[in-house]
Amino acid sequence: MAKPEGVVAKPGSSKKYKTGSWRTKKPVFKHDKCTDCRICVMVCPDGVIFGADKEYHADMDFCKGCGICAEECPVNDIEMVLEVR
Ligand code: SF4
Ligand code: SF4
C-alpha cells in the first residue's frame, strides 16, 4: 500500500532513527550546582534527558546538540563542549 502524500516516517518510528551523529557539540552535565528543577528535562526538544536527585544525563544516541538545555539551565550546570570523534 502506498504511503499517504507528505508522510516521511511512520508514527512511533523515531526511536530507530538515531540522531546523535548530527552533533557538533555535546552537553556535559557538571553535577555541581544542580537544583533538581528539571527544566532541562522539560525543554529538550528530543526528550532525551533523564535522571533524578541532581544527576541528569542525556541519551547521546539521540541528543542532537542543540544546546537548549545548557541555555535554559538556571544555574549553568550544563556546558556545551565540542564533540570529538
Ligand atoms: S536545568 Fe540545570 S539545575 Fe535544573 S535539573 Fe537540569 S541540570 Fe539541574
Ligand atoms: S543539547 Fe539539545 S537535544 Fe541534546 S540534551 Fe540538550 S536540549 Fe536535548
pLDDT tens-digit series, residues 20-44: 999 999 999 999 999 999 999 999 9
The Å distance, Cα 57 to ligand 2 centre, comes to 10
CB atoms within 10 A of CB 3: 9
| Euclidean distance between CA atoms 68 and 5, whole angstroms | 32
- 24 is in which domain, residue-wise? 18-82
Whether 22 is in a domain gets the answer yes
Picking from 46, 47, 38, the residue whose alpha carbon sits closest to that of residue 78 is 38
Residues with CB under 6 A from ligand 2: 27, 44, 46, 48-49, 58, 63-69
Per the structure, how many domains does the chain have?
1
Whether 7 is in a domain gets the answer no
Residues with CB under 6 A from ligand 1: 29, 34-40, 56, 73, 75, 77-78
CATH number of the structural domain spanning residue 24: 3.30.70.20
Whether 6 is in a domain gets the answer no
> 54-83 b/e with 16+ CB inside 10 Å = b?
eebebeeebbbbbebbbeebeeebbebeee
pLDDT of res. 40 = 98
pTM, to two decimals:
0.87
Among protein residues, the one with the nearest Cα to ligand 1's atom 2 is 73
Whether 44 is in a domain gets the answer yes
- Give me 11's grid cell: 508514527
